């Protein structure tokens, strides 16, 4: 139907209907300058009756602004991405911006192609979610055009990129101190699903929080050992210094709890279990009422978009951002006082 679609109503139509010139109509709508009250009213009426909506492409051409944020995922594989999209969308839409979402699906050539695509689209800003590889060549054209780029990742300090990272230490520290306060001294972190991350800030957060409260920590992962979740739990509880708490990702807590029970132990009387939920999906998917360290990725998305919009308006901030207050400790029925030995 692309051939014969009826021409949508334009500003000229509105102006004619209202009996004014296009410039007056435009002014009445943008509010740049004052127009006479009755004329403004007539324009508004014409807009209503004709169902006029300004053509963003034309506006973009004229204003050299597309009101579009180009969001580039290296890969779209985690529910966290959903929250980020949702959060960014919420903030962007409030500011009348659109979100052009893309994923390279882990492919390097795609990644390059998407940068070019966004350049052609003249996005007002670039948002890179967990980017990989060398970005400098990709970012250069945007930098030249004054298009800000904001990225979420752990390592700051990329030239031409404002790096935003989530500081989840608060919730982790809260959890550790709550557990320590209940007498726990030995924790096992099962870095299996969402809790598996490359050696980075979040891993540090956990280590440091444990150390700060004198909690001995063991980290187990099926990636290295090739063991199943159940085998890991079994060997841990049979070890010389068995943990009194187990921390696992939200997609594993159910199985962890069931595995503990399969060994004839009770949760939380014999072993406490804590979930790590970094997405709203995770918070729902984990066993209900499990104690959890929650991370608000939706809010993280909002904040990233806010930073980006701000950068469009006033230029990039002078330094990278570490966003706090996104994580919190949420007690639940799966934790209790440490058992006596």
Partner DNA sequence: TTGTAGGCGTTATCAT
Partner DNA sequence: ATGATAACGCCTACAA
**40 vs 236, beta carbon nearer DNA:** 40
Cα separation of 197 and 78, whole Å?
13
Contacts of a second copy in 255-314 (CB under 8 A): 255, 257-259, 261-262, 280-281, 284-285, 287-288, 312-314
* 327-330 and 291-295 strand pairing: antiparallel
The piece of 12-20, 126-134, 177-185, 227-235 that touches a second copy (CB under 8 A) is: 227-235
SS3 assignment, position 249? strand
Cα separation of 138 and 149, whole Å?
11
Dihedrals φ, ψ of 58, to 5°? -65, -45
**186 vs 251, beta carbon nearer a second copy:** 251
The count of other CB atoms within 10 Å of the CB of residue 320 is 17
Dihedrals φ, ψ of 274, to 5°? -125, 140
Cα separation of 259 and 277, whole Å?
20
Contacts of a second copy in 185-224 (CB under 8 A): 193
CB of 142 to DNA, least distance (A): 16
* Rounded alpha-carbon distances, angstroms, from residue 138 to 100, 124, 141, 144, 203: 18, 16, 7, 11, 29
106 binds a second copy (CB under 8 A): no
**17 vs 236, beta carbon nearer DNA:** 17
**141 vs 181, beta carbon nearer DNA:** 141
116 binds a second copy (CB under 8 A): yes
In the numeric block, which tokens belong to residue 75? 């890969």
**146 vs 264, beta carbon nearer DNA:** 146
8 binds DNA (CB under 7 A): yes
331 binds, among DNA, a second copy, none (CB under 5 to 8 A by kind): none
The piece of 3-11, 151-159, 182-190, 209-217 that touches DNA (CB under 7 A) is: 3-11
CB of 45 to DNA, least distance (A): 15
**103 vs 165, beta carbon nearer a second copy:** 103
Cα separation of 339 and 260, whole Å?
15
Contacts of a second copy in 136-165 (CB under 8 A): 141, 144-148
The piece of 56-64, 138-146, 212-220, 294-302 that touches DNA (CB under 7 A) is: 56-64
**58 vs 212, beta carbon nearer a second copy:** 58
The piece of 10-18, 98-106, 172-180, 216-224 that touches DNA (CB under 7 A) is: 10-18
12 binds a second copy (CB under 8 A): no
* 245-249 and 327-330 strand pairing: unpaired
54 binds DNA (CB under 7 A): yes
Cα separation of 117 and 50, whole Å?
35
**87 vs 151, beta carbon nearer a second copy:** 87
Q: Which of 41, 49, 61, 105 binds DNA (CB under 7 A)?
A: 61
Q: Which of 23, 49, 200, 235 binds DNA (CB under 7 A)?
A: 23
CA within 13 Å, CB half, 245 = 29
79 binds, among DNA, a second copy, none (CB under 5 to 8 A by kind): a second copy
Helices (H), the chain: 11-18, 22-30, 37-50, 56-63, 79-94, 108-121, 136-144, 169-181, 201-212, 222-225, 229-237, 250-262, 280-285, 297-314
Q: Which of 26, 68, 162, 244 binds DNA (CB under 7 A)?
A: 26
Return the closest-CA partner of residue 54 out of 24, 17, 20, 14: 14
Identify the DSSP state of 150: E
Where do contacts with DNA occur on this chain (CB under 7 A)?
7-8, 10-12, 20-24, 26-27, 29-30, 32-36, 39, 52, 54-55, 58-59, 61-64
């Amino acid at each position: 139907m692309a051939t014969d679609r009826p021409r949508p109503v334009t500003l000229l139509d509105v102006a004619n209907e209202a009996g004014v010139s296009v410039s007056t109509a435009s002014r009445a709508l943008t509010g740049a300058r004052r127009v006479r009250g009755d004329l403004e009213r007539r324009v508004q009426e014409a807009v209503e009756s004709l169902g006029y909506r300004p053509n963003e492409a034309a506006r973009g051409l004229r204003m050299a602004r597309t009101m579009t944020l180009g969001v580039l995922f290296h890969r779209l594989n985690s529910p966290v991405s959903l929250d980020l999209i949702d959060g960014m969308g919420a903030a962007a839409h409030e500011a009348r911006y659109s979100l052009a979402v893309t994923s390279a699906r882990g492919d390097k050539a795609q990644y390059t192609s998407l940068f070019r695509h966004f350049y052609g689209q003249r996005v007002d800003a670039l948002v890179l979610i967990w980017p990989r590889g060398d970005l400098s060549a990709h970012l250069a054209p945007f930098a030249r055009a004054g298009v800000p780029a904001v990225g979420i990742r752990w390592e700051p300090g990329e030239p031409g990129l404002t790096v935003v990272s989530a500081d989840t230490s608060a919730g982790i520290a809260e959890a550790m101190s709550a557990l320590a306060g209940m007498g726990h001294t030995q924790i096992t972190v099962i870095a299996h699903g969402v809790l598996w991350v490359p050696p980075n800030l979040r891993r540090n957060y956990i280590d440091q929080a444990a150390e700060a409260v004198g909690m001995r920590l063991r980290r187990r992962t099926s990636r290295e050992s090739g063991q199943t979740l159940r085998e890991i739990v079994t060997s841990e509880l049979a070890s010389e210094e068995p943990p009194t708490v187990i921390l696992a990702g939200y997609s594993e807590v159910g199985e962890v709890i069931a595995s503990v029970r399969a060994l004839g132990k009770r949760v939380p009387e014999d072993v406490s279990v804590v979930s790590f939920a970094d997405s709203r999906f995770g918070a729902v998917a984990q066993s209900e009422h499990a104690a959890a360290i929650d991370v608000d990725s939706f809010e993280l998305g909002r904040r990233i978009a806010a930073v980006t919009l701000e950068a469009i308006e006033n230029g990039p901030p002078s330094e990278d951002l570490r966003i706090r207050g996104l994580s919190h400790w949420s007690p639940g029925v799966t934790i209790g006082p440490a058992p006596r030995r």
